[in-house]
Amino acid sequence: MARDLFGRGRRGPFDDVPRDDRGDEIRVTDRRRIHVDDGDAKRETDDTPGNVETPNLKPSYVEELEARVRAAEQKTLEVNSRFEQLRAQLQRETDETRQRLNKAADERARRETAAFIAALLPVLDNLQRATEAAENGSSPEVLAEGIRQTAASFEKALAAAGVEPINAVAEQFDPELHEAVETVEVAPEDEGKVVGQYAPGYRMGERLLRPARVKVGRPAARGKQAGD
């Protein structure tokens, strides 16, 4: 039964007709299309459960700590990068300094070698003059003088290079500076001393170039001392 606006029963034109006599009910399908506004559709889409923004449940102090950690990590990366740059720069400067020092040392060695060779040239000149004098039949005195001049020139060249002769005769025998070639019996006061020299020794500063080859005194035999 149909009802009115106030919910009361209201009889219709077919209420008195039996249900079987009403025939088939007429069904009406509404085929009209409804156009939904894009804004409304967007709002409906945004309101779907999948697009709802998840609330941030972290406490504020946790977010602050995470921010500090990220800042510390960034600072560490910057410090490491700066350290690598400084290390590369230091290595480059060290290599350049080493190359510069090596170059200076090589140049100094070449200069010293050239100076020593230049000092030996007068020795060669004296040797050549002595040879010419011998070939021309000069007297022995002239040849001896030429040889003395040659030896003096050579000693001067050695002294200019920092080479010093080792004084051995009458000195106490020193195995660091002297090489004993022979021993002879001597008086007690000369025991262990160098009494003769076969070849002089030379040193340059603290470096020994060649030990002096010497004759060393030894104590006399017991029987000979008793006989004396």
Cα(194)–Cα(118) distance, integer angstroms: 36
Do residues 154 and 124 lie in contact, with contact meaning Cβ atoms separated by under 8 Å?
Answer: no
C-alpha dihedral, 8 to 14 to 17 to 22, nearest 10° = -130
User: Residue 133: its pLDDT value, please?
Assistant: 83
| Mean pLDDT in residue range 63-86 | 91
pLDDT in tens, 2-26: 555 555 555 555 455 555 544 555 5
Question: β-strand 178-186 against 207-210: which pairing, if any?
Answer: unpaired
With beta carbons less than 8 A apart as the criterion, state whether 161 and 134 touch.
no
Q: Hey, how many other C-beta atoms are within 10 angstroms of the C-beta on 220?
A: 15
So what's the pLDDT on residue 41?
47
**Measured in whole angstroms, how far is the alpha carbon of residue 167 from the centre of its chain?**
47
CA distance 183 to 218: 6
pLDDT of residue 136: 85
22 CA to centre of own chain = 110
Distance CA 180, CA 217 (A): 10
State pLDDT tens for residues 178-188. Answer: 999 999 999 99
**Strands, E, within the chain: which ranges?**
2-3, 9-10, 163-166, 178-186, 194-199, 201-204, 207-210, 212-219
In angstroms, rounded to a whole number, what is the distance separating the alpha carbons of residues 111 and 105?
10
CB atoms within 10 A of CB 64: 11
pLDDT tens profile 41-53: 445 555 555 555 6
Question: Using N-to-C axis directions, what is the helix angle for 60-135 and 140-160, rounded to 10°?
Answer: 170
Nearest CA-CA partner of 190 in 228, 217, 220: 217
193: helix, coil or strand?
strand
Average pLDDT for 179-199: 93
Convert the pLDDT of each residue in 106-158 to its tens digit. Answer: 999 999 889 888 888 988 888 888 888 888 887 888 888 888 888 888 898 88
Q: What are the tens digits of pLDDT across the range 49-70?
A: 555 566 666 778 788 888 899 9
This prediction's pTM: 0.51
Q: Which residue has the higher pLDDT, 220 or 210?
A: 210
